Chains A and B, each alone.
Chain A
């Protein structure tokens, strides 16, 4: 008789946790990158390793190199430095990645050699060429996934790169560092969705206590059945979520089925829960009841969606995706439909820690997880329907949909804008719809926005002396005011403040202070990492740093 292969019956009942691999072997990479993998995980690391950064360097040239250092250390895939300068004596007093024996040699190549020592896994090259020459050959830009352009740059150069980046949908950073000030702007693709935003857990906690589902209510009833006769131990270990649900039912029965609404009612509800605490036990109170009382204010709010998500829901791509819309919109559309059907977002499925018996807590987690899976399945189905409507072969990865469902409450869409480019005629700059908010910004006495204007003058004014730059700034302010539809601003006051920043900029004579460039290189590297990994939320879209006040300012220009 031939032996029949018998597949053992699957285990019934409880979910079994199988330890993945008992012997632990961390790869060399996991060991080296441990401290950053805790921030952006393997997926972020992969994105970083797939990136190819182009640095178009000029001026004193420190800030771009410091930025690269902070990208090479965490393991960016490749980098290229383009710089026409040779190493000068003054570089050695400001740039750490150059040394005496490099004097007179290509600054790009010398810096590249020292930078590569930082991480043997990163590939890099240095090219002695001017930015204008380098980009005149279109193909030379092609391999790069992100461009860092260091100012001062000619307006044609910035324009050309801005156009290229926008056609290719790749991020372009434009950077200045002079004396105690720095500036950087980013041109992101038209639509830059942030799904994996890593919000603080408390801010997005969704427990759906006002919209409970049958399984959750059932479990509440099981655990709170005959509450009075429970032992002190059992009574003191009912998870606070269930306590809130239980007392909500009690409240509703005497309030026409409505939950507590507004401050006075919530206060009364809190008192109701507080009074039900057992105090005749040895501890003289109960931690789970304390947790329940504390959670009343934040956990019993009707579901609301963030302004960022509302904006996404209201956009045309979300309402009516078509065959060409990106995955993001197809999923957003499905979640929008889910929200209009149920009035809530898909459940993220996480449960905060709370006083509870181990088994009860695990059971509660499973109830939330099961519901989250069910919600996800509904969204996935809706995505599949859309895909079918457009007769698309490629399916959106389930994991992408799951990530969106989990992060839905804090999803954000950044709309990239072309870089604002200085020209020799500041009165012709097109500020379009930002003119009004920027005028308002200028009116604020503590605003750092004038530093940005000073940097525009640094690019656009010739010669770069105090009087010419001051005049350039004044023209820019006038232009802004005009385009804002004649905002009532105190022009004289603004001119006075702008002039001080101009004077400080001129004081540096175009030189970089190492500290300011190192600091700015850190800021830019953080932003580059967020853009590449598509995690956290990048700035939008212009930032200045004031090294005298030790402050940063961010403006949408």
Chain B
């Protein structure tokens, strides 16, 4: 009995060796591009197995990332996602089946990987990244994001930059970020405070240009205008108080019919159910193959960073697959006036005769700011406060005032937004 147990032990080690032999041939000896200082060997493998990785998002990219990390020798992986599985996920999120629709993405994905790849531990959290604080994020060696929201990327980026303590090297958590749209995608590697961060590159993802309200209300031309009208104006008129649920087919059907009626009135062709859904839910086309490319690129970089087996990406790769195959690599530089990792305030050109209200609205649309609910203050006084209600009421009269009466040319202001944990510093520059 005891002999049998003893015998199974070396066998187990042996089979585990064999299982990872492809990876070990890379991790135990260097190649011509490997940094000569990297100490490849058994220690590298231990380091890989002991490192704790956080994956944000268990969707199209996330499923791939979890699979790739598990088959790259990582053993301790955590995953956060607040979503549940929808039937339209099944064309690419390959860890989910029809019977899983409605369940937590993070939980189902984690259980699937653990079952398929022996010896890997995946810890799911079904919730928002904002639920967690620095004490949570500090436990990881590296964070990989497979998100579809710019806001969530900015939040985790700001959090990781904020955690860096120059005295303590372990406080620096590399962030690897992937994104896709149709046949295109990009991956980037961020070393918080050391290299260009997501906020430095914010103008790569400008907000979608909003159609002016008067076009929607009076002179629609495109099917999209009719759909936006149904969503913004018709809904408010007929179903005030009811909150639009973009996953509720009854709501989408209602909007579709309203949009269709309006399109007929103006003789605008092209309103379909599918387009309605696309416009209302801001749907981005997504396919398995693009997710595979970008997720694997991110995990390839993660493996190189953690083990040092080869140099990693400096710091951005864009993949374009709709016309031939094309990769574009670029090393972004930190911007000194980055509100997250820079130390200079960002210039904010304004028309001094415009109102504070107009400035606040423009901050949502400006590619370099994208703040939807900013609270603004100068060094000495509060310009406008979104909350609490008492302060909002007190500062509301400022909204109508011209900027000239509130801030001087060259004066610094700080903007905070409930979506982000940090202040954005701007320097007001009067446009002549």
Which A residues are closer than 8 A to B by beta carbons? 14-15, 17, 19, 22, 24, 26, 28, 30-39, 60, 66, 69-70, 73-75, 88-90, 92-96, 99-100, 117-120, 179-180, 197-199, 237, 353-354, 356-359, 361-362, 499-500, 503-504, 507-509, 511-516, 518-519, 521-523, 525-527, 529, 536-540, 543, 547-552, 554
How distant is B217 from chain A, measured CB to nearest CB, in Å? 11
Cα of A117 to Cα of B98 in the assembled complex, Å: 10
> Which of B70, B249, B285 touches A39 (beta carbons < 8 Å)?
B285
Nearest-Cβ distance from residue B55 to partner chain A, whole angstroms:
14
A312 to chain B, nearest CB (A): 17
Residue of A15, A31, A358, A525 contacting most chain B CB atoms (<10 Å): A358
A-B contact list, 21 entries, CB within 8 Å: A19-B260, A32-B91, A34-B283, A35-B88, A35-B286, A36-B287, A39-B183, A73-B92, A180-B31, A503-B32, A507-B25, A508-B26, A511-B26, A522-B289, A523-B289, A526-B321, A537-B323, A548-B304, A549-B329, A551-B327, A554-B324
B322 touches A537 (CB 8 A): yes
CA distance A33 to B33 in the complex (A): 42
A516/B116 in contact, CB under 8 A: no
Given A518-B64, A519-B292, is A358 in contact with B219 using a C-beta cutoff of 8 Å? yes
Q: Are B285 and A36 in contact, with the CB atoms below 8 A?
A: yes
Q: Which of B21, B91, B267, B274 interacts with A362 by CB under 8 Å?
A: B267
Q: Are A75 and B266 in contact (CB under 8 A)?
A: no
Chain B 329-352: CB-based contact to A (< 8 A → 1; otherwise 0): 100000000000000000000000
List, in ascending order, chain B residues with CB within 8 A of A543's CB.
325
B71 near A93 (CB under 8 angstroms)? yes
B136, CB-defined interface residue at 8 Å: no
CB distance from A121 to the nearest CB of B (A): 11
A514 touching B68 by the CB < 8 A rule?
A: yes
Q: Name the distance in Å between B396's Cβ and chain A's nearest Cβ.
A: 26
* Distance from B247 Cβ to chain A, minimum over Cβ atoms (Å): 12
For the complex formed, measure the closest distance between the CB of B323 and the CB atoms of chain A, giving whole angstroms.
4
Shortest beta-carbon distance from A361 to chain B in Å: 4
Q: B323 to chain A: which residues have CB within 8 Å?
A: 197, 199, 536-537
CA distance A340 to B317 in the complex (A): 44
Q: With CB as the reference atom, state the residue of chain A lying closest to B278.
A: A38
- Name which of B194-202, B294-302, B361-369 contacts chain A: B294-302
B91 & A523 in contact (Cβ 8 Å cutoff)? no
B18 at the A interface (CB under 8 A): yes
Q: Which residues of B contact A100 (CB under 8 A)?
A: 118
A518 contacts B285, C-beta separation under 8 Å: no
A514 partner, pick from B72, B269, B284, B297, beta carbons under 8 A = B72
Tell me, yes or no, whether B408 is within 8 Å of chain A by CB.
Answer: no
B88 engages A519 (CB within 8 Å): no
User: Residues 134-169 of chain B: 1 if any A CB is under 8 Å from the residue's CB, otherwise 0?
Assistant: 000000000000000000000000000000000000
The answer for the CA separation of A523 and B257 in the assembled complex, in Å, is 40
Contact between A99 and B31, CB atoms less than 8 A apart: no
> Whole-angstrom distance between the alpha carbons of A96 and B296 in the complex?
13
Write the nearest CB–CB distance from B40 to chain A, whole angstroms.
11
Q: B91 near A24 (CB under 8 angstroms)?
A: no
CB-based closest 7 A-B pairs: A511-B22, A522-B292, A519-B296, A522-B293, A525-B289, A514-B71, A89-B18
Chain B residues with CB under 8 A of A35: 88, 91-92, 283-287
Set of chain A residues within 8 Å of B20, measured between Cβ atoms: 93
Complex Cα gap A547–B296 (Å): 10
Contact of B266 among A92, A96, A358, A514 (CB under 8 A): A358
- Docked CA distance A392–B295 (Å): 51
- How does the 8 Å CB contact mask read for B295-315 relative to A, with 1 for contact and 0 for none? 111011101100000110100
* CA A540 to CA B323, docked complex, whole Å: 10
CB of B220 within 8 Å of the partner chain: yes
Given A32-B88, A90-B22: A17 in contact with B269 (beta carbons within 8 A): yes
* Bound: A197/B117 CA distance, A: 40
Cα distance A74–B33 when bound, in Å? 37
Q: With an 8 A cutoff between CB atoms, is B401 at the interface?
A: no
Chain B residues lying within 8 Å of A31, measured Cβ to Cβ, are 87-88
Q: Bound state CA distance, A120 and B98, in angstroms?
A: 10
CB distance from A364 to the nearest CB of B (A): 9
Q: How far is B97's CA from A93's CA once the two chains are assembled, in angstroms?
A: 24
Report chain A residues within 8 Å CB of B90: 32, 73, 119
Give the shortest distance, in Å, between A42 (CB) and chain B (any CB): 11
Q: Which bucket holds chain B's interface residue count? A: 35 or more
* Complex CA distance for A518 and B299, rounded to whole angstroms: 10
Docked CA distance A359–B221 (Å):
8
- Report chain A residues within 8 Å CB of B18: 88-90
Indicate which residue in A70, A88, A523 contacts B325 across the interface (CB closer than 8 Å). Answer: A523
A74 contacts across to B, CB distance below 8 A: 91-92, 287-288
Q: Which B residues fall within an 8 A CB radius of A?
A: 15, 18-23, 25-26, 29-33, 64, 67-68, 70-73, 87-88, 90-92, 94, 97-98, 116-118, 182-183, 187, 219-222, 249, 253, 256-257, 260, 263-264, 266-269, 273-274, 277-278, 283-297, 299-301, 303-304, 310-311, 313, 317, 319, 321-327, 329
**A548-B289 contact, Cβ under 8 Å, with A90-B22, A537-B322, A554-B324:** no
Contact A500 B25 (CB under 8 A): no
C-alpha gap A507/B264 in the complex (Å) = 66
Give chain B nearest CB distance to A180 CB in angstroms: 6
Check B264–A19 contact: CB distance below 8 A: yes
In this complex, the member of B33, B183, B290, B292 whose beta carbon has the largest number of chain A beta carbons within 10 angstroms is: B292
* A509 and B25 contact, CB distance less than 8 A: yes
- How far apart sit A35 and B407, CA to CA, in the bound complex (Å)? 47
B267, B284, B289, B310 interface centre (most CB from chain A within 10 Å): B289
Nearest Cβ in chain B — how far from A28, in angstroms? 8
Chain B residues, CB < 8 A from A37: 274
Cross-chain contact A356 with B68 (CB below 8 angstroms): no
Q: Say yes or no: B287 contacts A39, CB within 8 Å.
A: yes
Return the contact of A550 from the options B25, B321, B327 (Cβ within 8 A). Answer: B327
Cβ-defined contact, B300 with A75, below 8 A? no
CB <8 Å contact, B68 and A515: yes
Smallest Cβ distance from A4 to chain B, in angstroms? 32
Cβ-defined contact, B221 with A353, below 8 A: yes
Closest to B221 in A: A361
CA of A494 to CA of B99, assembled, Å: 56
Q: How far is the CB of A290 from chain B (nearest CB, A)?
A: 14
Would A536 and B288 be within 8 Å (CB), given that A93-B71, A94-B71 are in contact? no
> Nearest residue in B to A499 (C-beta to C-beta)?
B32
A81 to B15, CA, bound (A): 26
Whose C-beta in chain B lies nearest to the C-beta of A36? B287
How many Å from the CB of A437 to the closest CB on chain B?
Answer: 16
Report the nearest A residue to B253, measured CB to CB. A24
CA distance A31 to B324 in the complex (A): 29
Besides A507-B31, A526-B290, 19 more A-B contacts (Cβ < 8 Å) are: A24-B249, A24-B256, A32-B88, A36-B287, A39-B285, A66-B292, A73-B90, A74-B91, A89-B15, A95-B71, A198-B322, A237-B219, A358-B221, A361-B221, A500-B32, A522-B289, A522-B291, A547-B310, A550-B297
Residues of A within 8 A of B257 (CB): 22
Q: How far, in angstroms, from A549 to B87 measured CA to CA in the complex?
A: 37
- A505 nearest CB neighbor, chain B only: B31
Rounded to whole angstroms, the CA-CA distance of A197 and B321 in the bound complex is 12
B25 touches A525 (CB 8 A): no
Contact B288 A70 (CB under 8 A): yes
Tell whether, in the assembled complex, residue A538 and residue B293 are in contact, meaning their CB atoms are under 8 Å apart: no
Asked whether B68 lies within 8 Å of A357 as measured between CB atoms, the reply is: no
Q: Is the CB of A36 within 8 A of B25?
A: no
Whole-angstrom CA separation of A166 from B321 in the bound complex: 25
Verify A536–B322 contact, CB threshold 8 A.
yes
Chain A residue with the shortest CB-CB distance to B299:
A515
A550 and B273 within 8 A (CB)? no
Q: Are A529 and B267 in contact (CB under 8 A)?
A: no
Inter-chain contacts of A118 with B (CB < 8 A): 94
Determine the chain A residues whose CB is within 8 A of the CB of B322 once the complex forms: 198, 536-537
- Chain A hits for B295, CB < 8 A: 518
Q: Whose C-beta in chain B lies nearest to the C-beta of A528? A: B289
User: Which listed residue (B70, B285, B292, B300) contacts A525, Cβ 8 A?
Assistant: B292
